[in-house]
Structure 1
Amino acid sequence: MEKYEDLLVSLRKIIRSNDLYSKELAKKAGVTGPQLLILKQISRTKVISPKELAETLNLSQGTITSIIDRMQDRDLVTRIRSQTDKRRFNLSLTEKGEVLLESAPPPMQDYFIERFNRLEDWEQTQLLAAFQRVASMMNAQEIEPQTNIEQ
């Protein structure tokens, strides 16, 4: 097998692992990976605007709005109108959202971050450079990260 084939197989395994974890998360906790990340971020800040949430999670506001709409329909989050500008609103968790978050398993990214942080600094830098290069080789450097996020 050529080296590029091995690399493509590894990329497919990463994508598949993410999909499987998100499906398992949906089955166990009733939320997808992106929804769990949003719940965690809202919980950390208590109240956050959709724009701040999008910037923090590196997602588009359209993606955030779509996910928040579904989460609001399920009574996991609530929109609170701004007192200073009625066109704006902030997000906060409902009691149901807090309960779900407490019982949900950690997002897959937590496992990755834990293992990544155990690497030596030079290994972290090498991985970062390699993945940035792969993204560039796949013409993906300009694609926003939410492109493959399940909603």
Structure 2
Amino acid sequence: MLKKDEELLVALRKIIRAIGMRSRQLSKEVGLTGPQLMILQKVGKQAGVMVREIAEDINLSSATVTNILDRMEARNLVERIRSTEDKRKVGVFLTKDGEQSLSTAPLPLQEHFTNRFKAMEEWEQSQMVATLQRIALMMDAQHVDASPILEVGNIIEK
């Protein structure tokens, strides 16, 4: 029988592995990372969206979103078009390849998780958040820069 600390470590390991497996599945099935898929979804819902709006919506910095968009544009998934009315504004649009990738992509892991989390009672959500924040503190991870994206590794790779 496992001790309580071992049970906790096994649960953490399962979470880490599940995130890694889902990331690899997404990459294998549609050639996208979780953040790329989230950006495709945002652009698919709001053609011409600005980088700042994408960044705010998915809780990443504008610089990170710009780096991801550079890679996506190089793969012909999105295109950035400068406004003819206001030259300072650049909108992001899906290409045909981007539309195809979006139509065949599964839900990002965090969206799947968030849907289940939101279905929980508020007290249960608060308890879960507090517990995981405490675990992060116990692992000296309180100062680790992280976005609310379930992805293993650097989010601007690919």
Question: How high is the TM-score relative to the length of structure 1?
Answer: 0.84
Name the structure where helix makes up a greater proportion of residues.
1
State the superposition RMSD in angstroms. Answer: 2.2
Equivalent-residue separation in structure 1 for 2:55 and 2:142 (angstroms)? 19
Q: Percent identity?
A: 46
Q: Is the 8 A contact 1:58 1:145 kept in 2?
A: no
Equivalent position of 2:123 in the other structure = 122
CA positional deviation for 1:85? 4.5
Equivalent position of 1:3 in the other structure = 4
Equivalent position of 1:22 in the other structure = 23
Equivalent position of 1:31 in the other structure = 32
| Cα deviation digits, residues 67-90 of structure 1 (max 9, x gap) | 111110111111011335434412
CA positional deviation for 1:28? 0.9
Gaps of 5+ in 2: none
| Cα deviation digits, residues 94-114 of structure 1 (max 9, x gap) | 122112101111111232123
* Letter paired with 1:81: R
Secondary structure of residue in 2 paired with 1:105: coil
Equivalent-residue separation in structure 2 for 1:142 and 1:84 (angstroms)? 42
Q: 1:136 to 1:90 in 2, by over 3 A?
A: farther
Which 10-residue stretch deviates more, 59-68 or 99-108? 59-68
Equivalent-residue separation in structure 2 for 1:5 and 1:90 (angstroms)? 49
Equivalent-residue separation in structure 2 for 1:130 and 1:51 (angstroms)? 32
Aligned length: 151
Equivalent position of 1:75 in the other structure = 76
CA positional deviation for 1:34? 1.4
Equivalent-residue separation in structure 1 for 2:94 and 2:6 (angstroms)? 44
Gaps of 5+ in 1: none
CA positional deviation for 1:63? 2.0
- Superposed counterparts of 1:2-151, under 5 Å: 2-146=3-147, 148-150=153-155, 151=157
Q: 1:85 to 1:15 in 2, by over 3 A?
A: farther
